[in-house]
Chain A
């Protein structure tokens, strides 16, 4: 059972949140960014930290100032990225790349707040790019979703990218 040992979420919540992740993936595959933003809480945080490769016994202290990020977005910054993608000047996306997200390993946990849930998942983003070559990005995600009058909305997403060296020339995709 779940690590927390507390009572599991209702089947209805698990199904609803799982469906929301699949729906989200389909919206992003279709570049329906504005529809995707409808599922964001106003105070959403969307983060991906940089990866590091260290010996298990490493003795060095954490990086001063911070490790740095790939994404450190709030709602306004997500909109900024979408503005760029919508500008008509992002040549790397024209013709459009063939992008397909596979979402799996969905695990739903209770959160401290009554109206929230923690959702873990794995996402694989398969991109067949303009050069004809395919790149695959894999990441784990830990989300906090919040129930609103019109359903579950994303309050926070922490994305752990599984690549120390990005195997592509851009990340013009959302996870």
Chain B
């Protein structure tokens, strides 16, 4: 389906059909979820050989398994005999995965290790070597984050992430011990199109002071770039909306502490930041060490991974049809943090963005209603707009990307929909442009 008229980046317009059309959704499963690198698991979630984690790539059920020797493989969670799901547990450790239906058994390396009645009923003629679990075409890791890709010939994960690594490293590589995801998976069904929560978190500082006013009033303990309850003011000098990085985005404040603005008792975290900041400046340089580490940052890796250093939640959205998603959330910690800070982070993440999260519980109904209001005969023909602060972006010394001032802007959302359109228009990776605008290490590079 031709999507050239459905998104207009220049004016910040999207057709509502992109949130409701079944046909476009099938095309997204092929051209976005079937093509992009998708987050699978954090290495901390499967530390030992035989550890596995069940997740989704688009609507495809996938098991990610730590191998003997430490490498990580991923397979479709489907028996190669009759297609049954072979793993029904969320995660765990196993020596084998045995299908419920007829008892075919697969080893952690995916090989078909045992077939009941192989000699008696198959007459020894079954070629087990051709019937192993189907692997995800590519699996790669970036500093603890494991991604998978179904596409036969994608760019490398490093190239896919591009200059977004500048921001990723503020979390993944600030401290020498690395990071972990902690706690069980917090799973919620939302009657929302998958793009709406991504759009919300990638750039929408505008909704914070209004949609979350009740929660902000209840727990905010520090200032955050002048964002205020009831949206009565905003300070455009206090934050940046960064996009133009291969469809990835960052929305960041610049004060080095406001990540912990929504902790009722932030002092232990602020002490930790203060104590370790010299080391982080040494590792990441002054701009990131002073202005970004500890700040509230929303990081988006296209299409469906988002995480927020400070509030310390890490999330993927699994599409379940055009009008439904499963939202999976974990708390994230730095491994160098003292145990009591890690515990406080898990607790505060659950308080603010957990299943009963004071903030998170404000968003679901808005996203669901935006989805529903794109489904009617008349509304499906209408448009919606992300046209705030058009043509007010540019380079900013020390940072990569095309940057608009402030946390309240719709700059990032426009780049998100631009990337969506680029993928949906392209038949394969060769047709998808690569761009890391205003690269800090080189001049602007656009290889369309």
A88 within 8 A of B: yes
B211 surroundings in chain A (CB, below 8 A): 91
Offer 30 A-B interface pairs, CB within 8 angstroms, sorted by A: A52-B91, A52-B184, A58-B89, A58-B94, A59-B93, A60-B91, A65-B342, A66-B346, A68-B330, A68-B350, A70-B355, A72-B347, A72-B350, A80-B219, A81-B218, A83-B217, A84-B218, A84-B358, A87-B217, A92-B362, A131-B191, A164-B90, A165-B189, A168-B189, A169-B361, A169-B364, A169-B365, A170-B362, A170-B364, A171-B355
Q: How far is the CA of A110 from the CA of B211 in the complex (A)?
A: 46
A41 within 8 A of B: no
Most buried by A among B185, B211, B351, B356: B356
Q: How far is the CA of A164 from the CA of B211 in the complex (A)?
A: 27
B333 surroundings in chain A (CB, below 8 A): 65
A77 near B351: Cβ-Cβ < 8 Å: yes
A39 within 8 A of B: no
Q: How far is the CA of A51 from the CA of B347 in the complex (A)?
A: 15
Interface 0/1 of B175-217, CB less than 8 Å to A: 0000010111111111100000000000000000011111101
Q: How far is the CA of A108 from the CA of B335 in the complex (A)?
A: 44
B89 surroundings in chain A (CB, below 8 A): 53-55, 58
Q: A58-B93, A65-B183, A72-B351 are in contact. Are A170 and B365 (CB under 8 A)?
A: yes
A70 surroundings in chain B (CB, below 8 A): 350, 354-356
A90 within 8 A of B: yes
Apart from the given pairs A60-B51, A83-B217, 18 other A-B contacts in the complex at a CB distance below 8 Å? A51-B184, A52-B91, A54-B92, A66-B343, A68-B183, A69-B354, A70-B354, A70-B355, A72-B347, A72-B350, A80-B358, A81-B358, A89-B210, A92-B361, A130-B365, A165-B189, A168-B364, A169-B188
Q: How far is the CA of A131 from the CA of B190 in the complex (A)?
A: 13
B264 surroundings in chain A (CB, below 8 A): 80
Most buried by A among B48, B187, B342: B187
Q: How far is the CA of A46 from the CA of B218 in the complex (A)?
A: 19
6 closest cross-chain pairs (CB), A and B: A169-B364, A68-B183, A170-B361, A89-B214, A87-B214, A89-B213
Q: How far is the CA of A165 from the CA of B190 in the complex (A)?
A: 10
B331 within 8 A of A: yes
A166 within 8 A of B: yes
Q: How far is the CA of A161 from the CA of B326 in the complex (A)?
A: 18
Interface 0/1 of A124-136, CB less than 8 Å to B: 0000001100000
Please report which residues of chain B, range 332-348, place their CB below 8 angstroms from some CB of chain A when the two chains form the complex. 333, 339, 342-343, 346-347
B362 near A91: Cβ-Cβ < 8 Å: yes
A68 near B362: Cβ-Cβ < 8 Å: no
A172 surroundings in chain B (CB, below 8 A): 356, 361
A85 within 8 A of B: yes
Give min CB distance, B301 to chain A, whole Å: 23
A77 surroundings in chain B (CB, below 8 A): 351
Q: A55-B92, A72-B347, A90-B362 are in contact. Are A50 and B183 (CB under 8 A)?
A: yes
B368 near A131: Cβ-Cβ < 8 Å: yes
A51 surroundings in chain B (CB, below 8 A): 184
* B interface, size bucket: 35 or more
Most buried by A among B48, B92, B184, B346: B184
B369 within 8 A of A: yes
Q: How far is the CA of A89 from the CA of B50 in the complex (A)?
A: 47
B279 within 8 A of A: no
Q: How far is the CA of A130 from the CA of B365 in the complex (A)?
A: 9
Q: A70-B355, A91-B365, A92-B364 are in contact. Are A55 and B350 (CB under 8 A)?
A: no
B368 surroundings in chain A (CB, below 8 A): 131, 169
Q: How far is the CA of A90 from the CA of B359 in the complex (A)?
A: 10
Q: How far is the CA of A164 from the CA of B187 in the complex (A)?
A: 7
Q: How far is the CA of A51 from the CA of B343 in the complex (A)?
A: 18
Please report which residues of chain A, range 118-175, place their CB below 8 angstroms from some CB of chain B when the two chains form the complex. 130-131, 164-172
A50 near B218: Cβ-Cβ < 8 Å: no
Q: How far is the CA of A122 from the CA of B414 in the complex (A)?
A: 48
A167 near B217: Cβ-Cβ < 8 Å: no
Q: Which residue of B lies closest to A48 (CB)?
A: B356
Give min CB distance, B373 to chain A, whole Å: 11
Please report which residues of chain B, range 214-261, place their CB below 8 angstroms from some CB of chain A when the two chains form the complex. 214-215, 217-219, 229-230
B366 within 8 A of A: yes
B92 near A166: Cβ-Cβ < 8 Å: no
Q: How far is the CA of A88 from the CA of B213 in the complex (A)?
A: 9
Q: Which residue of B lies closest to A87 (CB)?
A: B214
B360 surroundings in chain A (CB, below 8 A): 170
Q: How far is the CA of A70 from the CA of B349 in the complex (A)?
A: 10
Q: How far is the CA of A68 from the CA of B274 in the complex (A)?
A: 27
A52 near B90: Cβ-Cβ < 8 Å: yes
B184 near A50: Cβ-Cβ < 8 Å: yes
Interface 0/1 of A70-83, CB less than 8 Å to B: 11100001001101
A67 within 8 A of B: yes
Q: Which residue of A lies closest to B182 (CB)?
A: A65
Q: Which residue of A lies closest to B52 (CB)?
A: A60
B363 surroundings in chain A (CB, below 8 A): 169
Interface 0/1 of B84-113, CB less than 8 Å to A: 000011111110000000000000000000
A166 surroundings in chain B (CB, below 8 A): 187-189, 355
